[in-house]
Structure 1
Amino acid sequence: MSRSIPTLSAPPGKSSAPYKLPCFTGELWTIPTSKSTMRLLVTGNETNNAFAVIGTGGTFDSPIGFHYHREAHDVFLCIKGSLNVWANDVARTLGPGDFASVPPATVHQYQIASSHTEFVGLVIPGGWEAFTSLTPVLQFFRFVGEPFDGPLFPTHDERSPYEVLIPKLIAAAENFDMIPVRDKQSFGPQPWDGTESTLPGVCENGGYFLKADSGPKFIAGGTIVRPLATRKESGGKFSVYCIDSSKLHHGKGLEGEMFTFEKTHHVIQVLEGLVRVVIDGDDAVVGSMETIFVPATKSWRCEAESVYAKYYIFANGGGIGEVLTTVGRSFEWSVVPEAADVATWDYKALKDSELELGFVIA
């Protein structure tokens, strides 16, 4: 009999342990005087500093201030509400499903721009966001932040930022990979102009924006996969994929095999519907805004548990998203197909890609 994958309220702080986090949980921190909460979903401790995944919720607030990182690569995936993101001299207002990639050395900032905004970010490398066993110092969020125990985010912090925040930011700039750019002139978000519908295929200063439901799409069995960032856009470091699937297509795609990635960790966040994840024989059903961590070396699979399910997969490296795009075929639509459009995937192509993509199937 299978056991349930542990459901926790915060990351466990150790590697090689799968876990599930319910909606709006995680290790919770707020930056003083801000109106937002950062939820550490996966940290460097769980991924051996490969990457970290952070959820943020908040309400209308000022921009955080222009800065850049020497090493850290940020991404912004809007889940709810709206979010302004600046990257060098380009700025866009992100709505649900919109995406921004901000590589190292890109001058950027963000601003929460609605009454309730939720977005998910991935940070490379993973030791930047919090205390880790490999970097035994108090890292950025724990350094500048304060623990939060409310339901969503603070709204009544009337303290002066010059007293409780600015000194911390100055100290953080001296110790961490966050370099302020105080002389950059402010400007407003610009309209989307139609250039945000393709992936650039390279990782370069300035990054890129990607409109929701745009970019390349692939079908593998009954699973639709859309890359938001591949290894090409991240300098080989990470990937982000959007998956749409249905239990009505069970047995025709992703759920048919158990995958083991020797070096690649996966983080799955469900947006809509239900997804069943099986890891080394243990399982969990993951619902809307819930997160599950799949460590490298574990044998696992996932499948839609509802008529429709939409979820995002973050990975260091290409991971399962790269596998799906490799064995799948180009697809026109953004939604789960009707039965007539579904064919089982090419098992030989799947086996042939094992060595190249760094996985094995049971």
Structure 2
Amino acid sequence: MRLLATAKETSNAFAVVGTGGTFDNPIGFHYHREAHDVFLCIKGTINIWANDSARSLGPGDFASVPPNTIHQYQIASSHTEFLGLIIPGGWEEFFRFIGEPFSGPLFPTHDLRSPFEVLIPKLIAATEKFDMIPVRDKESFDPQPWDGTESLLPGKCENGGYFLKADTGPKFVVGGTIVRPLATRKESDGKFSIYSVEGSELHHGKGLEKTTFKFEKTHHVMQVVEGLLSVIVDGKESVVGSMETIFIPAGTEWRCAAKSVAVKYYVFANGGGIGEILTETGSPFQWAVVPEAGDVSVWDAKQLEGLQKELEFVIV
């Protein structure tokens, strides 16, 4: 478990964690009264249960688990990596409480200690300290096949949550940048958003790459999964590579652009953020990958300027 951004960085707005592991048993059914969990698989396989539904998630697959949804997860491949956003921030301290410091490159591969001696006592203590209520009488069941209903956003936040298959759902293009919402403010009861963004250095300047934004209230966390991303925050450039993370605090002036022929990254924000701007200024897009030169879309600068008050940002 890696804490990529915590409540301390986001003023308790949210936290983003990365988890890696190998084949294991399900962690056990439970629910949260306040915390909204999400699971975004980026490598391997993870099984997610939410009330009476369950799916096996592969890279790019997504699950949203709102408060009071009974859920559990299981790492189901030799090397699984997934990202999670925790709303509100602070609940990530649960992992410090039950975990131990680890200095290896990925995750422990041969810990032979008994969980009944090492982990279970901590979990019992954690249920009294954190927002986690075990549901011990719920019987587990096998994950169900993807049936094609997992290609649309529900447009609301409700108990039970939803699954979203990789590379499905609505897509938009702004210049040469593709944006795909995994969770908007509608699906999170106004609390957060998560977007998948893909672009190419070959299309530099055709989208919003040269536009500098300032969000007074919205923090952003960007996790790159392919290629290189240039992010300039308050005049200082950072080049973020695959499996690296950058945190952009609210109140800073920033812009970002692809720094390689192809880049893919995920954006987490406590609000609509840059992902919402991209979808509002973009045009519907049907293809699966970054567009060729002939498919690059034109966007309206005046429309972008007109969105500043509604989406709570300033063009610098």
TM-score (norm 2): 0.99
1:73 and 2:45 matched: no
- The residue correspondences of 1:224-243 to structure 2 (distance < 5 A) are 224-243=178-197
1:252 and 2:215 matched: no
Report deviation, 1:45: 0.3
Farther-moved stretch of structure 1 (315-324 vs 141-150): 141-150
Match for residue 102 of structure 2 among 148, 154, 161:
148
3-state SS, counterpart of residue 178 of structure 2:
strand
In structure 1, what is the equivalent of residue 269 of structure 2? 315
Report deviation, 1:183: 0.2
Match for residue 18 of structure 2 among 46, 55, 65:
55
Q: Deviations over 1:278-321 (max 9, x none)?
A: 00000111111110000000000000011111111000000000
In structure 2, what is the equivalent of residue 355 of structure 1? 309
In structure 1, what is the equivalent of residue 56 of structure 2? 93
Matching residue's letter, 1:214: T
Matching residue's letter, 1:262: E
3-state SS, counterpart of residue 197 of structure 2:
strand
Match for residue 297 of structure 2 among 331, 343, 353:
343
- The residue correspondences of 1:37-52 to structure 2 (distance < 5 A) are 38-52=1-15
Counterparts of 1:205 and 1:215 in 2: how far apart (Å)?
Answer: 20
Counterparts of 1:159 and 1:58 in 2: how far apart (Å)?
Answer: 16
Q: Does the CA-based 8 Å contact 2:195-2:267 persist in structure 1?
A: yes
In structure 1, what is the equivalent of residue 75 of structure 2? 112
In structure 2, what is the equivalent of residue 34 of structure 1? none
Counterparts of 1:244 and 1:325 in 2: how far apart (Å)?
Answer: 13
* Gap regions ≥5 residues in structure 1: 1-37, 131-139
Counterparts of 2:231 and 2:104 in 1: how far apart (Å)?
Answer: 29
In structure 1, what is the equivalent of residue 279 of structure 2? 325
In structure 2, what is the equivalent of residue 158 of structure 1? 112
Q: Deviations over 1:130-174 (max 9, x none)?
A: 2xxxxxxxxx11111111111211122222222221111111111
Counterparts of 1:172 and 1:302 in 2: how far apart (Å)?
Answer: 40
Deviation >6 Å, runs of 4+: none
Counterparts of 1:254 and 1:148 in 2: how far apart (Å)?
Answer: 40
In structure 1, what is the equivalent of residue 47 of structure 2? 84
Counterparts of 1:277 and 1:170 in 2: how far apart (Å)?
Answer: 42
Sequence identity of aligned pairs in percent? 76
RMSD: 0.7
Farther-moved stretch of structure 1 (278-287 vs 161-170): 161-170
Farther-moved stretch of structure 1 (226-235 vs 340-349): 340-349
Report deviation, 1:254: 2.1
Matching residue's letter, 1:246: S
In structure 1, what is the equivalent of residue 216 of structure 2? 262
In structure 2, what is the equivalent of residue 211 of structure 1? 165
Total equivalences in the alignment: 316
Counterparts of 2:120 and 2:41 in 1: how far apart (Å)?
Answer: 27
Q: Deviations over 1:233-284 (max 9, x none)?
A: 0000000000011111111112120000010000111111111000000011
Match for residue 85 of structure 2 among 122, 129, 134:
122
Match for residue 65 of structure 2 among 102, 116, 133:
102
1:278 and 2:232 matched: yes
Q: Does the CA-based 8 Å contact 2:283-2:297 persist in structure 1?
A: no
Q: Deviations over 1:173-221 (max 9, x none)?
A: 1111010000000101010000000000000000000000000000111
Matching residue's letter, 1:258: T
Matching residue's letter, 2:188: S
Farther-moved stretch of structure 1 (288-297 vs 155-164): 155-164
